[in-house]
Structure 1
Amino acid sequence: MRIIHKIDEFLNIIFPEINDNNHIIKVLENYYSYGDLKPKVKIENGYVIVDIDIISITSQEFDFKKAISFCEKGKFADAKPLLENLIKQNPTNSECHRIIGQIYSDEGNQDEAINSLIDALRWDSKNSYALVMMGNIFAKFKNDIDTAMKYYDQALIAKPDDNITINNIGANLLQQNKFGEAKKYFYKALSLDEKYPNTHYALALIADEEGDLNVAFNSFIQTAKCSKKNDFFYNKGIEGAYQVANNILKENYGENIFRNYRVYLEHKGGVEIDFVIDELIPTPAKMEFAENYDREKHTIKYKNTGSAYVHLIMHELVHLDFVLDAQIEENNLLFTSTQQHKNVFLKSIEPSLNKLKQRGVSNESINSYSSSLFDGVNSQIFNAPIDLFIEDFLYNEYQDLRPYQFVSLLKLVQDGIKAVTDRQVLELTPKDVVSKTKIYNLVGAFQIKDLYAIDFISEYNATKIELDTANKFYQEYLEYKADRKPAEEYELVQHWADDLKLGNYFELVGEKQYRKRKNIDDFIGDLEKDPFGVNENDPVNEKEMKTFLENQEDLGLNMAVVMFMVGALEFFERKSEDEIKKIAFEIAMQGTQGYDPNIKNYKLSSIPNKTFSGYQILAYYYVSWSIGIPEMLSQLQLPFDEEYKLATTMYKSK
């Protein structure tokens, strides 16, 4: 057999009798002599090479396995004589020396353990288990960290890619409260495998002991993220994160985070921001935009729910930040709802309301309940998609906020679970509303699992369809998140509501256009400059028009529009030019809200006692402009040129 040692400081550690390089060959010849057999020792290129010619060695496999079995069962007294006999027969087996060294250490005889481990390393200087054990003995029992580190460093050299061995070195140093030395090995282990939960957990414990609570929190979260749900390190990670987070919240320095952000947003938007505690608001926090309440300042109202309110305020500030970005691009949208929308909702839950009446519930209570339900559904429709982007922004841009976010989201998710699983709630709330609320809540649960490893998904008791829908929504969000542009989050608001058949409960309108209609002076001024709104940038109408044009192109010639145009030509034949312009003007003004080909109840005051379908009003729109304002017809961008040509031919042939 051949044994190779590098000629360095470590060779002198395991062969302390070597005085200088001239003694190396002699010392090693003496040690590796076996009976009458003498080794051949030579030095080449900084290494000493030992060749031992052992022709016949008794087979030891059976006894070696038997000794290992005794050790695994804790029967060291039975294993020890077996190992001693094996070594006597054949001293070349490094593992025999290492195991008997471990037995001596467990028996409390550390000096004999060291002697045996030295023998193990002399026969195999890269025996990482022996190296780590030597380090442990010097660190734990000899309080000699310098010597321990030399053995640990040799273990790194012996197994540079074994993160578990390296982690175990760190763990032993951690047990000795040698935090600085332990971190060296844990960071090395982490660089080899960043998904090993033991390493993250150890770093979390060190950071917690050193008072670096934010680092401890993040390391505990990483511990849970790298573990399977409900295994030891998953539970330890979540428990540790929650405990550290609450310790951070007690220090209450979080206000600095949102106060600095407030200053930035006040400068960005030119409007001051107030914070007000209000226990009567229906949600944990609420953003009241100055322009919506005719105030000089924006107001963020929040419930005083402990120090986690810092997260609630930051959440609303990000909402404002997103709105400001969209306003700069002039594509911000407002979520609006009318009594007509509410009536549609009330019709959908009518059976549930009738049950309440049959139980003797007063009309006043039913009205209050149904209004609260309607507001709650609409709040979720609007906020659920946008909140995903907000929470992701906070997680990535404000790491010091994470403990606050963690505690706050934990409470919100738990409340959300109760809202869709509580027996009393389920008894009173329409099943369809519960199901769709559950889907929105599940989307948020997917995110908190990604951000903080907390997996509440199974607690929603969701059906496969609900889970699949929520997962589909979350995947769509992830696609948008990768390169979100200002106001794109509103697309998810509309998409998800349409998919869940909730699109009739609200309307998204362009903020700029809405504000103009609310301000009569601005409205009249714009009418004088652009009476037909052809130069107005309405983000909602632009999206709808783009979709409409694409669909119309796929349909080809629309014969329904052709026939409606023939009727319009007949109608306008009896009208003066001024009357036609008046009608064109009204159609154009009503058209600023957009026309939906699927709606069948449009009305015009200039054409009383007549109801128009979507395509019919579009036909009258095109014809009135073609006759009354032909020079601006092209600016309508209505895709009915071919329909109009055919309609005029048919009309003239009558």
Structure 2
Amino acid sequence: MQIIHKVDDFLHTIFPNIKDENHIISVLEDFYSYGPYKPKVRIENGFVIVDIDINNISNQEIDFRKVISFCENGNFSEAKPILLKLIDKNPTISEYHRILGQILSDEGEVEDAINSLIYALRWDSKNSYALIMMGNIFAKEKDDIETALKYYDQALIINPSDNITINNIGANLLQQNKFEEAKEYFYKALKLNDKYPNTHYALAIIAESEGDLHSAFYSFIQTLKCSKENDFLYKTSSQSINNIVNKIFKTDSGKNIFRKYRVILEQKGGVEIDIVKDETIPTLAKIELAENYNRDKHIVKFKDTSPYYPHLIMHELVHLDFILDAKKDETNLLFISSHQHKLKFIKSIDASLKKLNKIGMTEEKIAQFSSDLFEGFNSQIFNAPIDLFVENYLFNEFPELQPFQFASLINIIQSGIVTGTDKNTSDLIPKDIFSKSKIYNLVHAFQLKDLYGINLISKFNATKLEIDQAITFYNEYLEYKDDKSPAEEYELLKHWAEDLKVNDFFELVGENQYRQRSNVDDYLDSLEKDPFSVNEKDPIKEREMKTFLDGQKEMGLNMAVVMFMVDALQYFKNVNKELIKKIAFEIALQGAHGYRPDEDNYRVNSIPNKLFSGYHILAYYYVSWALALPEVLHELQLPFDEEYKMASKLNI
């Protein structure tokens, strides 16, 4: 069969990878090759002529396939005579010689194998399989690494972007315990594809052999993250990681991490920190802030019953670090749960408590059960979103802590799985609370998968709705993760609680405001200086105002507010300025902690017999100050300037 192309612009159109005239033959040879069979290509009188021996290919293809099949099954004795006949008929096929070299090598005929591979390369110097096999023979059989590297490097010249070829070269050197030479190839392979698990696994094996435990841990983790759960490498790496982690536990590296971090935080906050072992605490670790206990130092208490306790201590110290950042920014919040919050919680699970009574549980035990459940669930509401940021910070800022974090997080999540799948527990705990607790735990399972490649999500036996909600929460966290500002983690806490409808069980308050109000003298002094809290820096009010303002921007002109302002202008039309000022002050004082646009039933004593909706009271708020105190109107930060302009025109 003969194919003829004219050498012109159209040839470049249908073969765009032709760079110049000298490149034509090689491009067409590659295109018209069939397996190991290459065409003859020549250029004559402005035409490129391709001769393809169809008959020869057809006749030899059947026998060649037989050879391949026999070799794949290790039946070299059947393959060899067929292959020798093929070579005798057509000695120009490089791949015939390469496969014969492989057979001879497996039979222990090293010199004959080398000779066959040399023939393969003489007929096609770009036969990368022959080059790698030559390198393998010189590395393994002759212990001649220098010569082996020559063949390997030549294979890389031919396939510089083939990470698998490069990885396989490294693997062959690794088998010969040539660690340094192997690492060079593995690093090259990683640059081309850092998602190939075999390369990470090989580097982990080398690091473990060299006693570099932390590098071995890192590479085994990368293997997990790049593998599928049922893969051999995933299962093998999971077992190997546990061995590495146990070896690291026996060192003092964990203690050194939290000791250094403690010094940094002491300098940052100006308060001494004690780290104390205490087997009496109800959790594995806890921090007691100095200001909450009227002490001159913070105390981190921990149990050392588990070898990963350094992570637990570091976790508490990061909580303190976040608090110090928020305090500096005057945005720190406190999570407060009062008796009233507890009553709302108990009311929400009343039906479940009645069932407990019916099965014979005493009133005293029910009271204790509901109290413990309230405290435990509130702890989860508070910690679940914040702990995501804490663990992310630990993972990125303290890589040497990762083996401890790895073991600790797995233990925590597995505990959540046990609780979340235990029938006795599910029978006792109200289904609604049980489900929402599982959602909070699932979010951390998603983080574990992201950080360490360990997927425990399916073990929760969660419903689709629970998983979907957890995914929504985790995706929201990811939006904040990389550029979190101080105290921003509380926004997630608030959003999640609202979505799960558990926001009635606690209250978030600004720390400065809470502590100030706890001190009567300070509170009265601030009230006298700023009775309407216009100049007060309250993080709760500021965040709510930001949300409100963002919402107003998206909404554009609010016609409801316009009409409410028309109502206000008409009401104030015959009211003297002093009374308007009095009303303005009353609305401001009453709204010191903010008005909610979606709420109703607001009242103003100076405007009797009138109920206000959220936007209605905000309209009166703006108009009263615009009329009586225009010079300080801007300090209210109410985004209704355009609405007021339109209302003024409509009121004419």
Q: TM-score by structure 2 length?
A: 0.81
Aligned pairs for 1:234-633 (under 5 A) are 234-548=234-548, 554=558, 556-557=560-561, 591-596=591-596
Residue 411 of structure 1: how far off its partner (Å): 0.6
The answer as to whether partners of 1:224 and 1:453 remain within 8 angstroms in 2 is: yes
Deviation per residue, 1:182-221 (Å, 9 max, x gap) = 1111111112221111111101100111111111111111
Distance 1:56 1:458 in 2: 57
Distance 1:129 1:546 in 2: 64
Higher mean Cα deviation, 425-434 or 131-140?
131-140
Q: Which amino acid aligns with 2:434?
A: V
Distance 1:519 1:453 in 2: 50
Q: Name the counterpart of 2:39.
A: none
- Rg larger for: 1
Higher mean Cα deviation, 540-549 or 69-78?
540-549
Question: Is residue 200 of structure 1 aligned with residue 200 of structure 2?
Answer: yes
Higher mean Cα deviation, 308-317 or 83-92?
83-92
Residue 536 of structure 1: how far off its partner (Å): 0.7
Counterpart secondary structure, 2:248? helix
Alignment gaps of 5+ in structure 1: 1-53
Residue 585 of structure 1: how far off its partner (Å): 7.8
Q: Name the counterpart of 1:109.
A: 109
Aligned pairs for 1:41-60 (under 5 A) are 59-60=59-60
- Sort the Cα spacing of 1:585 and 1:366 in 2 relative to 1 into closer, same or farther, 3 A: farther
The answer as to whether partners of 1:285 and 1:313 remain within 8 angstroms in 2 is: yes
Distance 2:382 2:369 in 1: 20
Counterpart secondary structure, 1:298? strand
Q: Name the counterpart of 1:179.
A: 179
Residue 380 of structure 1: how far off its partner (Å): 1.4
- Sort the Cα spacing of 1:276 and 1:617 in 2 relative to 1 into closer, same or farther, 3 A: farther
Residue 85 of structure 1: how far off its partner (Å): 2.2
Q: Name the counterpart of 1:44.
A: none
- Sort the Cα spacing of 1:104 and 1:569 in 2 relative to 1 into closer, same or farther, 3 A: same
Q: Which amino acid aligns with 1:476?
A: E
CA RMSD of aligned residues (A): 3.6
Residue 599 of structure 1: how far off its partner (Å): 6.2
Counterpart secondary structure, 1:167? helix
Distance 2:412 2:87 in 1: 65
Distance 2:624 2:330 in 1: 30
Identical-residue share of aligned pairs (%): 61
Q: Which amino acid aligns with 1:130?
A: A
Question: Is residue 218 of structure 1 aligned with residue 218 of structure 2?
Answer: yes
Distance 2:639 2:163 in 1: 66
Residue 250 of structure 1: how far off its partner (Å): 1.8
Alignment gaps of 5+ in structure 2: 1-52
The answer as to whether partners of 1:222 and 1:237 remain within 8 angstroms in 2 is: no
- Sort the Cα spacing of 1:82 and 1:626 in 2 relative to 1 into closer, same or farther, 3 A: closer
Q: TM-score by structure 1 length?
A: 0.81
Distance 2:626 2:131 in 1: 92
The answer as to whether partners of 1:448 and 1:454 remain within 8 angstroms in 2 is: yes
The answer as to whether partners of 2:204 and 2:217 remain within 8 angstroms in 1 is: yes
Distance 1:625 1:77 in 2: 100
Residue 263 of structure 1: how far off its partner (Å): 1.0
The answer as to whether partners of 1:121 and 1:131 remain within 8 angstroms in 2 is: yes
Deviation per residue, 1:229-284 (Å, 9 max, x gap) = 22112222322223212221221311111111111111111111111233443433
- Sort the Cα spacing of 1:335 and 1:611 in 2 relative to 1 into closer, same or farther, 3 A: farther
Counterpart secondary structure, 2:286? strand
Residue 493 of structure 1: how far off its partner (Å): 0.8
The answer as to whether partners of 1:603 and 1:612 remain within 8 angstroms in 2 is: yes
- Sort the Cα spacing of 1:211 and 1:148 in 2 relative to 1 into closer, same or farther, 3 A: same
Distance 1:565 1:292 in 2: 49
The answer as to whether partners of 2:377 and 2:437 remain within 8 angstroms in 1 is: yes
Residue 513 of structure 1: how far off its partner (Å): 1.0
- Sort the Cα spacing of 1:90 and 1:597 in 2 relative to 1 into closer, same or farther, 3 A: closer
Counterpart secondary structure, 1:257? helix
- Sort the Cα spacing of 1:57 and 1:569 in 2 relative to 1 into closer, same or farther, 3 A: closer
Distance 1:361 1:430 in 2: 15
Counterpart secondary structure, 1:301? strand
Distance 2:409 2:79 in 1: 55
- Sort the Cα spacing of 1:432 and 1:193 in 2 relative to 1 into closer, same or farther, 3 A: same
